[in-house]
């Protein structure tokens, strides 16, 4: 019997399994595919993690490297304004021009530092609303600078009452307006920070969701592939075992169908060749048994014929023996008659002799 290729040993006749080509690979190849799938899933998970973390890193970088820096810059301007406010108050409290000059020098230095902060801050503002708020703060800053210059002029002329009047009527209101404009800019930056933080949290949630989905897909795919791979090994082995038990029970009529091209298919082919060999051996033995049976029948017939002939010979021998007994009896009787005749002859001879003697005597 030639191994039958392409049939299912369970009688399913290849119902169109989509991954049949994979499961027809050798077991080593299937293991390689399984490990490859696991590596691919890990790479996908790593890619998803990298993408999500990159997004989170971008959002956090935007918060820490952009929004927070701008808030800190505005905070530095606030610090300079507070310092200028204290210096201006000290100018009104001090008595000597030398002491007042120290405070005025501190105000001038503070204004330079604040201007430098503005120079660094302006190019970094890209949000449209923040740009508008920055423009408002710059406009108020200009008025604040003019009021501060007027304060300086009054102090320079040592008109402290006029300086106090400028401070209360011009410098103080413009400073408060300046602070309010900067607070609005800070609020906008904090709002942008909150939005970036929300986007970062959303990116974390999305990354977590993607990772869980990838894990779930990996688990489902791994379990499904494992079950199918296991069945692709255990089912043919169970069929081969059943066929071997059938053959071991003496039934050589089972068909061994080769359905695979892997090691299990080679085992099926070996089993098919073994069954074919056993069938051929059984045919040869059966042919020999038939020959022996025919010879035995012929020998039995010859024995019957020989027995019949032996019986005939025995019957002939019995008849011959009976005849021999009759002949022996006749011979015995003849011998007895001969002995009797001999005795009679001897007796007659004696009688004759005696008669001769009598005659001789008579003659004499």
pLDDT at residue 306, as a whole number: 72
The pLDDT of residue 6 is above 50: no
Predicted confidence band of residue 342 (pLDDT cuts 50, 70, 90): confident
Q: What is the pLDDT of residues 103-153, one digit of tens each?
A: 999 999 999 999 998 888 888 888 899 889 889 988 999 999 999 999 999
Greatest mean pLDDT range, 85-94, 235-244, 325-334: 85-94
- Give the mean model confidence (pLDDT) for residues 240-248: 80
Q: Taking the complete model, does pTM exceed 0.85, yes or no?
A: no
In the 3-class helix/strand/coil scheme, how is the chain assigned residue by residue? Answer: CCCEECCCCCCCCCCCCCCHHHHCCCHHHHHHHHHHHHHHHHHHHHHHHHHHHHHHHHHHHHHHHHHHHHHHHHHHHHHHHHHHHHHHHHHHHCCCHHHHHHHHHHHHHHHHHHHHHHHHHHHHCCCHHHHHHHHHHHHHHHHHHHHHHHHHHHHHCCCHHHHHHHHHHHHHHHHHHHHHHHHHHHHHHHHHHHHHHHHHHHHHHHHHHHHHHHHHHHHHHHHHHHHHHHHHHHHHHHHHHHHHHHHHCCCCCCCCEECCCCHHHHHHHHHHHHHHHHHHHHHHHHHHHHHHHHHHHHHHHHHHHHHHHHHHHHHHHHHHHHHHHHHHHHHHHHHHHHHHHHHHHHHHHHHHHHHHHHHHHHHC
Judge whether residue 5 has pLDDT over 70: no
pLDDT of residue 174: 93
Of 260, 252, 213, residue with least CA distance to 233:
260
- Give the pLDDT mean for 295-306: 76
Query: Taking the CA of residue 363 as centre, how many other CA atoms within 13 Å lie in the half-sphere pointing to its CB?
Result: 6
pLDDT given at position 13: 41
Please say if the pLDDT value at position 58 is more than 80. no
């Amino acid at each position: 019997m030639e191994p039958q290729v392409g049939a299912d040993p369970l009688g399913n006749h290849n119902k169109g399994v989509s991954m049949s080509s994979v499961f027809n690979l050798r077991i080593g190849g299937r293991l390689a595919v399984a490990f490859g799938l696991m590596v691919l899933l890990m790479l996908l998970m790593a890619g998803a993690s990298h993408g999500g973390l990159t997004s989170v890193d971008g959002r956090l970088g935007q918060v820490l490297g952009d929004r927070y820096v701008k808030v800190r810059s505005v905070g530095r301007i606030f610090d300079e304004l507070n310092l200028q406010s204290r210096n201006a108050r000290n100018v009104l409290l001090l008595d000597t021009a030398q002491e007042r000059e120290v405070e005025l020098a501190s105000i001038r230095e503070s204004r330079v530092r604040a201007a430098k902060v503005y120079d660094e801050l302006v190019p970094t503002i890209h949000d449209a609303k923040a740009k508008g708020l920055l423009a408002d703060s710059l406009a108020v800053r200009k008025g604040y600078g003019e009021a501060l210059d007027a304060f300086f002029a009054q102090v320079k002329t040592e008109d402290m009452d006029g300086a106090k009047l400028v401070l209360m009527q011009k410098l103080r209101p413009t400073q408060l307006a300046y602070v309010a404009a900067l607070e609005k800019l800070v609020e906008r930056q904090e709002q942008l920070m909150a939005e970036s933080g929300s986007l970062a949290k959303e990116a974390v949630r999305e990354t977590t969701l993607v990772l869980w989905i990838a894990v779930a897909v990996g688990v489902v795919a791994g379990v499904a592939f494992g079950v199918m791979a296991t069945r692709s090994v255990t089912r043919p082995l169970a069929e081969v075992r059943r066929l071997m038990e059938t053959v071991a029970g003496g039934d050589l009529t089972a068909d061994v169908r080769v359905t695979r091209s892997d090691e299990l298919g080679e085992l099926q082919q070996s089993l098919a060749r073994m069954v074919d060999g056993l069938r051929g051996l059984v045919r040869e033995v059966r042919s020999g048994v038939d020959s022996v049976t025919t010879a035995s029948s012929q020998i039995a017939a010859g024995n019957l014929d020989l027995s019949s002939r032996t019986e005939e010979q025995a019957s002939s021998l019995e008849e011959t023996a009976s005849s021999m007994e009759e002949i022996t009896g006749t011979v015995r009787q003849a011998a007895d008659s001969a002995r009797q005749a001999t005795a009679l002859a001897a007796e007659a001879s004696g009688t004759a002799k005696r008669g001769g003697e009598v005659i001789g005597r008579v003659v004499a």
